[in-house]
Structures are given as structure tokens and as C-alpha cells.
Amino acid sequence: MSQVKNDDTVKVHYTGKLESGHVFDSSVERGKPIEFTMGQGQLISGFEKGLIDMKVKEKKTINISKEEAYGEKKQELIQEVPKTQLPEDIKPKVGMNLVSKTQSGQEIDLIITDVKKTTIIVDGNHPLAGRDLVFDLEVVEIL
């Protein structure tokens, strides 16, 4: 029976959780496994490492350190922005997602973490940055 190795295209069901047990994402709930090619950098490195040598229909739970997930939170990605820089029709609220463009045209996803009288605090870190993660994995198919 074949095992998952680098460059394989695989279909995998997963449930991603925080260490507290809170589920943040699940292909099982959507009813469709994800399909990707190993070693292409499409997923966090700890996820791919956890799949190496797994067989079809095999299930396991892996713990991924923040270093092999989304890394540490970077303070330089947290900024205070004047509300005057927002479009007039936006009423900022904590938890709201915004998209900003850099001078080079790159889009950055931001989350509002605080709303003050004349400014907002935005965070450009991945929402799971700084967190260790737990994944329940099942290899559905090796293509």
C-alpha cells in the first residue's frame, strides 16, 4: 500500500483546532476533502510534515507548533490608523475585516482589533499567528 510522500497529490480530510479544542476549520464539516500537491508550499509546513508516510484511510492527530504553522505575531503588522483613512461608508467594528493595498499594489488582509474615538487598531497578522495548532487528519486518496 502506498504512503504519502513529497510531490504526491493527495486528498485529505482535516479538522483544525486550537489547543483549547475550539474548531477553527474543518473539511469534514464541508463534506469535501482538500486536494493539493505535497511540497508545493500550499499549506503550512507542519501540516504537510504530519502527512508524510500516512496511508489511505489512515487517521491521526498531529500537534503543530506556531513556528511550523503561521509563526509568531509580528508587532510591526499591528498599526494605529486614523479613521479618516477609511472610506466614508465604513463603520469600523472590532473583528471587521479590511483589505489594504501597499504602494506596490499588494493586498493585505487586516482585522480591526480596537476602535477608538479618531483611530482604529488593525492587525495584519494571520488570525492564527502565535498559536500552536492541532489537526485531526485522514488521508482519503493518493492520486
Supply the pLDDT for residue 69.
97
Output the pTM of the full model: 0.84
* pLDDT in the model for residue 58: 98
Helices vs strands, H then E, count in the chain = 2, 9
Report the chain's mean pLDDT, rounded to a whole number: 95
pLDDT in tens, 1-36: 699 999 999 999 999 999 999 999 999 999 999 999
The C-alpha atoms of residue 63 and residue 26 are separated, in whole angstroms, by: 16
Which residues sit opposite 11 in a β-bridge? Answer: 35, 141
What pLDDT does 1 receive?
67
